[in-house]
Amino acid sequence: MFFLTQKLLPLINDGARIVMISSGLTRTIIPESTPYASMKGAIDVLTRYLAKELGPRRIAVNVVAPAAIATDFSGGVVRDNPELNKRVAGMTALGRVGQPDDTDPMISSRFLRTIVGSTPIASKSRAVWRSKRESSGVSGGGCVS
């Protein structure tokens, strides 16, 4: 992501936005997910730094962190394994595993144009924004107008 963004920056217009994709695994621990979760955690940090560095160009940079989505990821394990699907669904507010279309509204949200350097957490029942300030215990932050 770093090198791709670095190469594309000269082509990105001022006032544009960049939306990175992270994972709910950056906030929870699941055995044998260390490589994936740590890589996604790096995307979270990269997003905050890019948001600050690209602010003068009015480029909004955010990361969307969905929970488990029924896709081909890991061989479709969440989608195709009924037992795992049921277990994951039992941990969600709506009692179901996320579908690929569930993340589209978050990624295309006009609201992300006024939020910078934050992580909208797509939890299937609502979106929760966690900014660097909020996650460090300081209230507020994340919004710019």
5, 16, 33, 36: the catalytic one is 36
Q: What is the edge-to-edge ordering of all strands in the sheet holding 60-66?
A: 17-21, 60-66, 119-122, 127-130
Catalytic residue flag (residue 36): yes
Residue matched to tokens 């962190």 = 65
What is the set of active-site residues?
Answer: 36
